[in-house]
Structure 1
Amino acid sequence: MSSHSTTRISRHILDFTFRPQASTRHGTFLASAALLSLSSSLAFAQAVSDDTSADMLLDPITVTAEGGGGGVGPDLDRPSNAGSRLGLTARETPASVEIIDGETIRQRGQTDVNQAIVRNGIGINFMGAPGNGGTSLGMRGFTGHGSVTRLYDGVKLYPGSGTITFPFDTWTVDSIEILRGPASVLYGEGAIGGAINVVPKKPLTDSRRNEMQAIIGTDGQKGLALGSAGPIDERFAYSFDISGKGSDGWMDRGDASSLAVSGALRWQASDELALTFSHDHGYNEPSAYFGTPLIDGRLDERLRHKNYNVADSLVRFHDHLTQIKAEWTPSDNLSINSTTYYLSSDRDWRNVESYLYRPETGDIRRSSYIAINHLHEQVGNRTDATFESRFAGMENRTVVGFDVNRIRFRNANNSPYPGESVVDPIDFDPGFFIGPDQFRSTLDSTTLQYSLFADNRLKINDQWSVVAGLRYDDPRLERTNPQTGTGFTRNLDSLNWRVGAVYTPVPDLAFFAQYSQASEPIGSILSLSDAQRDYVLPRGEQYEAGVKYSFLGGRADATLSAFHIRKKNVLARDPDDRTIVRQIGEQSSQGIEAALGFDLGHGWRVEANGTILDARFDDYIQAGGDFSGNTPPNVPQEAANLFVSWAFAENWLVHGGLHYVGKVYTDDANTKTRPSYAVVNAGLQWQPTETATIDLNVYNLFDEVYATSGGATQWYLAPPRSATLSVRLTF
């Protein structure tokens, strides 16, 4: 089936279930990629010996979730690949890792992936807006897609022109794995702040799952979701999940709709070999809201529900990911995993994006009439081998492998974005988009990338272990401007490593320390500009130490870590000649992170986490001045989450959550700020039967007016108070 067919199917489902929209286009053939991936994996499988007896190997990214929302708080004894490729638990890993269980996310009424990351993860701040796909985050003092790597099922999502648009719906999510701090040893350049891997639901081989959910809510919210998984016979198992949502939006002309589909088929070809074919599809039309203008530098609450975009605005994202995974265990001490994948994204914007209040006339000047299309295609393979052995009598586990991919990225737009209009702040006609006069392709790039990596854990004894890793990346970019025919080729290779140790004096207590390196692109490798072509990748390093502890007989988990990160080769002005830009700047952050989870008994459960951060420019001169010692924009110095639940009666549960983010500066000079905010969400759950659950969720309970991103003249506001009622059935 071609992507045109899947697009039509997506549109028909959305049209029928939610609201009418114009059809969309897409120019790639997913079936061809799927067959290519399938044939390459089958060729790999054909070379496998069928005679060697071994245990079946589970998917290297899958984390087995238990019912009821997973463990308490940090969940230290759940194996994952969040902090290494070695399949260690959080307690065994010399790094700050956490796993957010998908069932916990859904029980808390969190339907958006980014909402789930921010309101459960430690010290993560949200900066999403339509221009970056609504997915931009900050971790440990470093912000944006260039500093926080995003992955889906282990596949790295490369940002094109600062944009990532998938995944978005938590219905298809099994878990979210988070590594805080540099992750370049695992995923390559662009992970100095951390890495986030969203893991979809997987086929079930020894149990069944059948479920459906219907949602209605304020602002015209509505949704329908279905899911099923289980064995077909002794060799085949499947999973399939689909979720469609729609809304009228909380602001004027804020209608939105989305469709997420995730499916997988697993074939146990032999005792040693398993093949899994999976496909994920996302179609998302979020609200075309680009922010609210400030009046004399302040937020006027009369404008809270105003949308200053044009009437025919458009934000539309269409994403696909097709994978074939081969898992081979030829012996008890050797396992090999190979994943071949094809990813495509088709993104469209047509909006007026900038709004400026003019006090001399009392009106709003709208500018930046921007029309953009992104076409992104990525084909790759990731293969690794795990060896179990003994070294001088000590347990030793080693993973070696490679990662190769080819990425094609094209950007067409109406640059230099002409158009301007003036409207009244309160009563105005939104009008229509002006142009585009010259919609043309301005960027066509191809990136060929390969990586070699190795991870090792040496268990010295029951108390001491050492974990180390090494990765070499060699991305080669070829960029052209189809309008001028000019272009360039650039190699941006990097070598990163880390080493850490874990000391476990007693089984429930672990101390850790580590040193790690990272590299980061200037902007985005896929859309590197001609002006940036000669710069090297900025480098980063981190020192970190912490403790992980379980107590009260396993009813409580706690973690505490302290870190210092330094980033070098930042673009800055020459202090002797500020017309010259050099890679001489430095930026750093240091802080403390803590998490605590209690099962208090009598139906009470409490989870809390937070961070205190000191981020600064150490050496940073720009044309506007010397900003050394200032805090980087959009970096809060404090952030915290609190979640409390109480099963106050049989089959009844009430819960509440608090999300706090400290104030941030919106400019390098630290003269403009965006205020701190604290948002409270609450819910009531009733389970009338074993197979039915009814949830009432209220978001932003106290109707806090706050902004999550924006600059000196325009803020992106978060939704006001809203509520949903959902019914979930299992069978």
Structure 2
Amino acid sequence: MFSFRPANLPSLHPIVAAIAVLYNSGAWAQQTDIMPTVTVQGAMEYEGLGLARQSATASRLNLTAQELPASVESLSADTMQARGDLQVKDAITRTTGLTDTSSPGNGVAYSARGFAGNGSIALLENGQRPQVGSGTATYPSDPWGYEYIEVLRGPGSVVYGSGTTGATINAIRKAPQRLTSFEAMAGIGGGKALRGGVGATGAFGEKGAFRLDAYADRSDGFIDRGQSRHGKILSSMAYALAPNLDVDLSLDHLEQEPQRYFGTPLVGGRISRELRDQNYNVGDADISFKDDKAVARLTWRVNPALSISNELAYMKAHRNWRNVEYYSYDTQAKLVERSDYIAIQHDQEQTGNRLEARWNASSNRMVAGWEAATINFTHTNNSPYGGSSTVAPIGFNPGVFDSPDPLRPNFNTDTTSHALYLEDAYTIYPSLLLLAGLRHDQYKVERVSLLGAAGFTSRLHSNTVRLGLTWTLAADTALYGQVSSGSDPVSSLLSLNLANSRYKLTGSRQVEAGIKQSLASGKAEWTAALYRISKDDIITRDPSNPALSIQGGEQSSRGVELSSSVNLTQEWRLEANLAYTDARFDQLIEGGNVSRAGNRPADVPKMSSNLWLNYRSNGWRMAIGARYVGERFIDNGNTQALPAYTTMDASLGWNVNRNVLLQLNLRNLADKLYASTSYSDSQYLLGDRRHAELTIQWRY
């Protein structure tokens, strides 16, 4: 493990040295003296939509994407690297219908199929899901060390429990391999960005394998005081204890210091180009996240058809914020008014266990399991977040954090969860697959006030089901349909307050139908999906007494999603996707007894799309892409909207030799001034200006 030094990038020398020691130790003396070479071909096969790949996210039965009666999409490490995606959110928002809603307050967050935020979009790593505390999720943030990332669109509660109505995102780690290989990456770019990563895998004794990945980056950003730093070490080992008994272990440490930027104030209701580079936070602002995770998995293959596994996971997180977060521009005085001097800390520990049995015999595949977890969450803050100041728009002294309110532990929650699930894939005929699943979740949340207020105990539960049918018309064409249900909490379970403790989980239902087709031996692939999702029991006002909040609101969405990947020639490939989302509140009353029925939920664009044109030949590869995000409202009243935007990116790569790749990544080619998301009605978070980054990669 390592720690950041405020002014320096964490050194990678100890990591490189450790890997060198491993390679030269006796444990690998049995291996060949010559490390095998991983050859980077001049003209590589394109992966396309990955319809033949087994999905680790949409089901626990290892069905391929084409077999699944659901919308699932994958991004390989090679695809992300070829496009120059240096953050996970860059890659995710190139998939169909996913929109970034991240901010310094929620870490990483997305919108999908009409639903937004970490209470409706689940983020996982290798199928492990940290519970969300106070709406915040902090990883995965960068793609280094991951084999691919999968996105399941629509409710995934049958597989992962509550909080998955919109989508489930799962980052799949690179697994240990006995065949020795090594990779490294270094990059330099705009905003004084520096980054580096190393990865190695090889044999561990006669029966095991290891993998170690390390990554660090730093940047001064494209705004004043826009520094950010990230780093991580991912380690894993696989070992055969007996011919039919395996153990897999992983131990990870991640540290992040994101950019301490909470947006740029609007001037006259518009984004001001003159203020594009300004940061109105205080000079001693602080944001830091630390995450540790350990996982142990034991797998017993009882016989060729039956396997039993037990997975024990421990996760720990510490998060810290100290910032001035609210800004508004006074047009008369031509000054920026700052308020909300906010200091918050999260301390979270989660221990979970999953016991699972899988049966795979001829036409029937089945999995059954039990999950249990305990999560301790402590919230410390300086509520009611007083303090204010005024600064000039440009050339100001940022000042220091000076709040009249002390930072004190506020509350602690202990959450216990239990779940039972069953999933079955039955091949009725060679061309007809029936997939059925059901799940029962129970949650118990005990909250204790650390300021003397009343505590409470809340119990919640949900039952979710999925029934889907895939009809394979031909070896390369499948039609599917499914009905599924899900549930979301009305707020983060770990930070449930007294007002929300009486509410049950919201319920969602989805109907979906689609087609998946692979043509010309995979040279062309396309998918289409139609869906409708409704969500009940969202918080609304009591029509007979608007002063009271009750459950009884409803929102829904319906839409169409199209994805395609086509080899135009041997060298050229076109990739495109399009999502149209018609989302609305069917029943919602807010303050003042105002109905929002018919309005579109916040952070949901009607239209989003991506287009990529790729070229690979004779050691060269090039790509140019465009991303379009439609207009999004920032409030349920639909009174203010983020403008639609289109950005363009490009990359140019050259295989110097069979082991070394040099790549230039270009971002925001037209230097578009746009808002990626809003932080309040008076300030928007702006996207990065035009910039370039040069990376070099080694693979041996």
TM > 0.5: yes
Hey, what does 1:397 align to over in structure 2?
Answer: 365
Structure 2 residue identity aligned to 1:598: V
Deviations 1:46-92 (A, max 9, x none): xxxxxxxxxxxxxxxxxxxx999885332111112221111000111
Deviations 1:668-704 (A, max 9, x none): 2212111011111101100110011000111111111
Hey, what does 2:24 align to over in structure 1?
Answer: none
Which SS does the other structure have where 2:318 is aligned? strand
Which SS does the other structure have where 1:131 is aligned? coil
Hey, what does 2:25 align to over in structure 1?
Answer: none
In structure 1, distance between residues paired with 2:302 and 2:467: 30
2:74 pairs with 1:106: no
Normalised to the residue count of structure 1, the TM-score between the two structures is 0.90
Hey, what does 1:721 align to over in structure 2?
Answer: 690
Which SS does the other structure have where 1:702 is aligned? coil
Structure 2 residue identity aligned to 1:722: H
Deviations 1:146-193 (A, max 9, x none): 011111111112111010111212112111121100011111111111
In structure 2, distance between residues paired with 1:440 and 1:597: 54
The match for 1:477 among 442, 445, 470 is: 445
Hey, what does 1:89 align to over in structure 2?
Answer: 64
Hey, what does 1:257 align to over in structure 2?
Answer: 229
Structure 1 residue identity aligned to 2:390: V
1:427-466 equivalence runs, <5 A: 427-435=395-403, 437-466=405-434
1:235-314 equivalence runs, <5 A: 235-314=207-286
Q: Quote how far apart the aligned CAs of 1:485 are.
A: 5.1
Gaps of 5+ in 1: 1-5, 20-65
The match for 1:517 among 465, 479, 485 is: 485
Hey, what does 2:36 align to over in structure 1?
Answer: none
In structure 1, distance between residues paired with 2:673 and 2:575: 25
Structure 2 residue identity aligned to 1:646: Y
In structure 2, distance between residues paired with 1:354 and 1:73: 44
1:534-553 equivalence runs, <5 A: 534-553=502-521
Q: Quote how far apart the aligned CAs of 1:436 are.
A: 6.2
Q: 1:634 to 1:69 in 2, by over 3 A?
A: farther
Q: 1:696 to 1:497 in 2, by over 3 A?
A: same
Hey, what does 1:527 align to over in structure 2?
Answer: 495
Hey, what does 2:177 align to over in structure 1?
Answer: 204
Identity %: 37
Which SS does the other structure have where 2:90 is aligned? helix
Which SS does the other structure have where 1:107 is aligned? helix
2:197 pairs with 1:225: yes
Hey, what does 1:358 align to over in structure 2?
Answer: 330
2:293 pairs with 1:325: no
Instruction: Note if contact 2:460-2:505 (Cα within 8 Å) is conserved in structure 1.
Output: yes
2:602 pairs with 1:630: no
Question: Which range moves more in the overlay, 377-386 or 227-236?
Answer: 227-236
2:16 pairs with 1:15: no
Q: Quote how far apart the aligned CAs of 1:606 are.
A: 1.2
Q: Quote how far apart the aligned CAs of 1:286 are.
A: 1.1
In structure 2, distance between residues paired with 1:109 and 1:412: 38
Structure 2 residue identity aligned to 1:150: L
In structure 2, distance between residues paired with 1:173 and 1:517: 30
Hey, what does 2:386 align to over in structure 1?
Answer: 418
Instruction: Note if contact 2:384-2:405 (Cα within 8 Å) is conserved in structure 1.
Output: no
Hey, what does 1:189 align to over in structure 2?
Answer: 162
Which SS does the other structure have where 2:47 is aligned? coil
Structure 2 residue identity aligned to 1:579: A
Q: Quote how far apart the aligned CAs of 1:335 are.
A: 1.0
Instruction: Note if contact 2:296-2:311 (Cα within 8 Å) is conserved in structure 1.
Output: yes
In structure 1, distance between residues paired with 2:353 and 2:328: 47
Instruction: Note if contact 2:9-2:229 (Cα within 8 Å) is conserved in structure 1.
Output: no
Instruction: Kindly indicate which of the two structures has a greater share of residues assigned to helix.
Output: 1
In structure 1, distance between residues paired with 2:409 and 2:306: 48
Instruction: Note if contact 2:48-2:522 (Cα within 8 Å) is conserved in structure 1.
Output: no
Hey, what does 2:321 align to over in structure 1?
Answer: 349
Hey, what does 2:635 align to over in structure 1?
Answer: 667
Q: Quote how far apart the aligned CAs of 1:202 are.
A: 1.2
The match for 2:648 among 668, 680, 685 is: 680
The match for 2:125 among 146, 152, 174 is: 152
2:565 pairs with 1:592: no
The alignment of Structure 1 onto Structure 2 pairs a total of residues equal to 670
In structure 1, distance between residues paired with 2:335 and 2:255: 36
Instruction: Note if contact 2:260-2:281 (Cα within 8 Å) is conserved in structure 1.
Output: yes
Structure 1 residue identity aligned to 2:627: H
Deviations 1:387-440 (A, max 9, x none): 1236xxxx1111000111100001101110111000111231100001364111
1:691-706 equivalence runs, <5 A: 691-706=659-674
Structure 1 residue identity aligned to 2:82: Q
Instruction: Note if contact 2:9-2:216 (Cα within 8 Å) is conserved in structure 1.
Output: no
Structure 2 residue identity aligned to 1:123: G
Gaps of 5+ in 2: 13-39
Hey, what does 1:408 align to over in structure 2?
Answer: 376
Q: 1:426 to 1:496 in 2, by over 3 A?
A: same
CA RMSD of aligned residues (A): 1.7
In structure 2, distance between residues paired with 1:303 and 1:610: 33
1:612-627 equivalence runs, <5 A: 612-624=580-592, 625-627=594-596
In structure 2, distance between residues paired with 1:662 and 1:709: 12
In structure 2, distance between residues paired with 1:198 and 1:418: 39
The match for 1:388 among 360, 368, 375 is: 360
Q: Quote how far apart the aligned CAs of 1:659 are.
A: 1.1
In structure 1, distance between residues paired with 2:241 and 2:371: 25
Q: 1:692 to 1:86 in 2, by over 3 A?
A: same
2:140 pairs with 1:167: yes
Q: Quote how far apart the aligned CAs of 1:360 are.
A: 3.1
Instruction: Note if contact 1:371-1:414 (Cα within 8 Å) is conserved in structure 2.
Output: yes
Deviations 1:247-306 (A, max 9, x none): 111100001111111111111112211111111211010110000000111111100000
